[in-house]
Amino acid sequence: MVRITTDSTCDLGVNATERDIRIMPLTVILGADSFRDGVDITPQDIFDYVAKTGTLPKTSAPSIGDYEEFFGQFVSAGETVIHFDISAKSSSSNEHAVVAAEKFGGKVFVVDTKALSSGQGLLVMKAYDLLQQGMSPEEVVKTVNALRPKVNTSFIPDRLDYLYKGGRCSRMTMYGANLLKIHPLIEMDDGQLVPGKKYRGNMDKCITAYIRDLAERYPKYDRTRCFITHSSADASLVEVAKKQVSEYFDFDTVLETVAGSVITGHCGRNTLGVLFIAE
């Protein structure tokens, strides 16, 4: 049997549970207290902490020992493991998983997704699909690695406060963007976050333009599924995104997921992205 695992930054929610995909939680640190992402902390805890302290939470990757224990339970049960991590350029999670995997003599494959959030989740779900089609672990890993550059991982933040606190933009940029209602596209490029086009206006208008631009940029895409992933965004904004995705794309399934505490801690509330695999 082949077991798919991933770390908690995948933002798959019930989609992982339904497929028995096991999750390795990263740690979220609020002051002197540590919590397991997706286990004993919620995004609301992040918002409350930042509002109270004015600082972002810290995060840490599982240790090599944590991964050895995590992988060991599956290998001991006779399973081969394919594990998916957040981009190695964003966390040491992948590095620790790779070292831990060496202990198991080829029974554990580790994939650097070069993505985060449900961009990472898309590759996890694709791997599950491929296994159901009868592919071997080696074939699955080869296929998903080839798909990595085709994953659109992008999002639009409502405000830049969290990005500023995290050192990803200057104070002047933050104030200017918030004052002028500028919402920059943030996307993954070869495993790291980079700024893209700047949208201006309210979030409904910006999300509408963003999704239209995605459709123009990616006229050919894997129709299997798309994620609308957001950090506790307003319900009305999510509905705008769903309507625009339905108008401009033809996915078999559109899945809505809420970002976990690690991702939320970097982007802030009301951030939203539409993520899918291009052809």
Query: Considering its fold, how many domains does the chain have in total?
Result: 2
Taking a C-beta distance cutoff of 8 angstroms, is the pair 278, 152 a contact?
A: yes
Model pLDDT, residue 173: 59
Judge whether residue 17 has pLDDT over 70.
yes
With a pLDDT cut of 90, the percent of the chain lying above it is 77
**Shared-domain flag, residues 89 and 160:** no
What SS3 state is found at 197? Answer: strand
Model pLDDT, residue 70: 98
pLDDT confidence band for 170 (50 / 70 / 90): low
Q: Which of 126, 148, 170 is the last residue of a domain?
A: 148
Judge whether residue 214 has pLDDT over 70.
yes
Q: Which of 116, 148, 180 is the last residue of a domain?
A: 148
In the chain the beta strands, taken as DSSP E runs, fall at 2-7, 22-24, 27-30, 33-36, 58-60, 80-85, 108-112, 151-152, 154-155, 182-189, 192-200, 226-230, 254-258, 272-277
Domain of residue 267 covers 151-277
Model pLDDT, residue 177: 55
Average pLDDT over residues 183-212: 91
**Shared-domain flag, residues 175 and 224:** yes
What SS3 state is found at 103? Answer: helix
**Shared-domain flag, residues 10 and 101:** yes
- pLDDT, the chain, mean: 91
CA distance 266 to 272: 13
- Report residue 202 CA to chain centroid gap: 24
Model pLDDT, residue 174: 46
Model pLDDT, residue 61: 95
Average pLDDT over residues 30-36: 93
* More reliable by pLDDT, 171 or 191: 191
Kindly report the CATH number assigned to the domain that includes residue 237: 3.30.1180.10
pLDDT confidence band for 196 (50 / 70 / 90): confident
With a pLDDT cut of 70, the percent of the chain lying above it is 92
**Shared-domain flag, residues 34 and 116:** yes
pTM to 2 decimal places: 0.93
Tokens 């798909």 found at: 147
Model pLDDT, residue 95: 97
Model pLDDT, residue 147: 98
Judge whether residue 180 has pLDDT over 70.
no
**Shared-domain flag, residues 138 and 16:** yes
